[in-house]
Amino acid sequence: MSYADRVERIQPSLTLKINAEAAAIQADHRGGDAVARLGAGEPDFATPDGVKRAAHQAIDQGFTHYTAVDGYDGLKHAVREKFRRDNDLHFQDDQILVTCGAKQALYDLCQTLLRPGDEAVVPRPYWVTYPAQVTLAEAQTVYLDLDAEDGYLPRAERLDAALTDATRLVFLNSPNNPTGRLYDRDTLNALAAVLRRYPRVFVVSDDIYEHLNWTGEPFRNLLNVAPDLADRCFIVNGVSKAYAMTGWRVGFVAGPAEAIAAMKKVQGQSTAGATSISQYAATEALLGDQTPVRRMVEAYRRRHDHIVPALNEIPGVQCPRSDGTFYAFPDVREAIARLDGIDNDRQLAEALLHRAGVAVVPGSGFGAPGRLRVSFAADMHTIETGLRRLREFLR
């Protein structure tokens, strides 16, 4: 059977693949510690109780029918309030689109903005979905390489070199998946100075890990330092990571009203919007008690402060600190060079999963061969088990 070329040009999500394989192994062994699952980009915490109660309330009140394609009015108000409270950004309802997770917001954006022959600039290492979504829009990905020596921060001169007359969209992601780096004010200002010279180029700021930041520095996105770019900047966010609501599938995007209206057309002919019950719950997440978010972030910080030094104690492993998210991104090239029969990070990740019982994601899936993405969105017992197995395998 033949398929459309766009499908043949993309690969399944490597993170989802690793997670599914780990889950299957775990199920075959009926649970236990068969796999120390350090691969998933999913909080191990339960959704906050207040959010769950709101979902029950929605069902009890019969809030179980279609909502407007661009989102339930109560949630759009909550999104506007979140941007005002957390980011000092002010939007109108016609500048907000509620989506089935932040991933759909990005998909709608690519389908709306990108034409065949257009180019989209993606910093590398990248979240695995960015290049695939560009491909599905029949555009071309141009990579903006980031160096560990520069702290994986995008440099203005490299962005300038990557932009051409064909460039239509630039992706930014901070705190970053997979590196955990937070873009500081100086970095954002330097990028904005370049973007001002390219008025045709749109920018998407993927802020999904915004609240997972323990640097002591305030989170900033491009619009915070360059409000003059508001007519071509889109802010994407959601409730999955900060509120432990991955399965609820609610994201949102804010941007220029005309473009949001076009994205609404795309969404109207695909999912027709997020589920009513999830939207009601997300409204409570954004407007309700934020204490659970702070508790989760503090737990991630403690785990980070434990796992990064432990990884650096393993021979052949070099792991920089993360500013946020729940990922460590160690360089394991020296360790690979010492292992018989393992030549790259993909082979190492496969061996760790099937021979050592540790699930991690190979860095090549993020465009960074020789690295691993290690998630610490797991309890300390799982983290300790995974670290012990990593030490034993790599010694």
Grade residue 30 by pLDDT with cuts at 50, 70 and 90: low
What local confidence, expressed as pLDDT, does residue 23 receive? Answer: 77
As a whole-number percent, the residues of the chain with pLDDT over 90 amount to: 90
Q: Are strands 140-145 and 358-359 parallel, antiparallel or unpaired?
A: unpaired
- Are 387 and 306 in the same domain? yes
* pLDDT (0 to 100) of residue 121: 98
pLDDT for the residue numbered 14:
72
Total number of domains in the chain = 2
CATH code for the domain in which residue 280 is found: 3.40.640.10
Please report the pLDDT score of residue 32 as a whole number.
64
Identify whether residues 70 and 135 lie together within a single domain: yes
Residue ranges in 237-367 assigned as alpha helix (H): 257-268, 276-287, 291-312, 333-337, 345-351
Which residues, including other chains, have CB under 8 Å from residue 67's CB and lie 6 or more apart?
273, 274, 276, 279
My answer on whether 207 and 273 are in the same domain is: yes
* Total-model pTM: 0.95
- Of 243, 265, 287, the last residue of a domain is 287
| Helical pair 257-268 and 101-113, crossing angle rounded to 10 deg | 110
- Do residues 201 and 257 both lie within one domain? yes
Report how far apart, in Å, the C-alpha atoms of 31 and of each of 28, 136, 314, 318 are: 8, 37, 27, 31
pLDDT tens-digit readout, 207-266: 999 999 999 999 999 999 999 999 999 999 999 999 999 999 999 999 999 999 999 999
- Domain stop point among 253, 270, 287: 287
Is 137 exposed, middle or buried (CB count within 10 Å of its CB: 0-12, 13-18, 19+)? Answer: buried
Q: Are residues 138 and 23 in the same domain?
A: no
Over pLDDT 70: what percentage of the chain?
A: 99
**pLDDT score recorded for residue 17:** 77
Same domain flag for 31 and 79:
no
Buried residues in 355-382 as b, exposed as e (16+ CB within 10 A) = ebbbbbbbbbbbbbebbbbbbbbbeeeb
281 pLDDT higher than 90: yes
Asked whether the beta carbons of 242 and 207 are under 8 A apart, the reply is no
Are both 342 and 218 inside the same structural domain?
Answer: no
Indicate whether 281 and 336 sit together in one domain: no
pLDDT of the residue at 210: 98
Other beta carbons less than 10 A from residue 46's beta carbon: 10
**What is the pLDDT at residue 1?**
75
Check which CATH number belongs to the domain holding 389 and give it: 3.90.1150.10
- Of 20-24, 87-91, 292-296, minimum mean pLDDT range: 20-24
Spatial separation of the C-alpha atoms in residues 4 and 249, rounded to whole Å: 27
Q: Which residue reads 């460039």 in tokens?
A: 167
Alpha-carbon torsion (285, 287, 291, 293), positive or negative: positive
Gap between the Cα atoms of 204 and 100, Å rounded: 17
pLDDT at 31: 60
pLDDT in tens, 298-343: 999 999 999 999 999 999 999 999 999 999 999 999 999 999 999 9
- Is residue 135 scored above 90 in pLDDT? yes
Q: Which of 257, 287, 317 is the last residue of a domain?
A: 287
Query: Is 8 in contact with 329 (CB distance < 8 Å)?
Result: no
115 and 176 inside one domain: yes
38 and 62 assigned to the same domain: no
Q: Which residues pair with 236 in a beta bridge?
A: 206, 253
- Answer whether residue 357 shows pLDDT above 80: yes
Name the token pair of 376.
Answer: 């610490």
Residues 263 and 149 in one domain: yes
Helices (H), the chain: 5-8, 14-28, 49-60, 73-87, 101-113, 129-136, 156-162, 185-195, 222-225, 257-268, 276-287, 291-312, 333-337, 345-351, 380-394
Please check whether residues 56 and 31 belong to one and the same domain: no
Domain of 28?
5-46+291-394
CB 370 within 8 A of CB 358: no
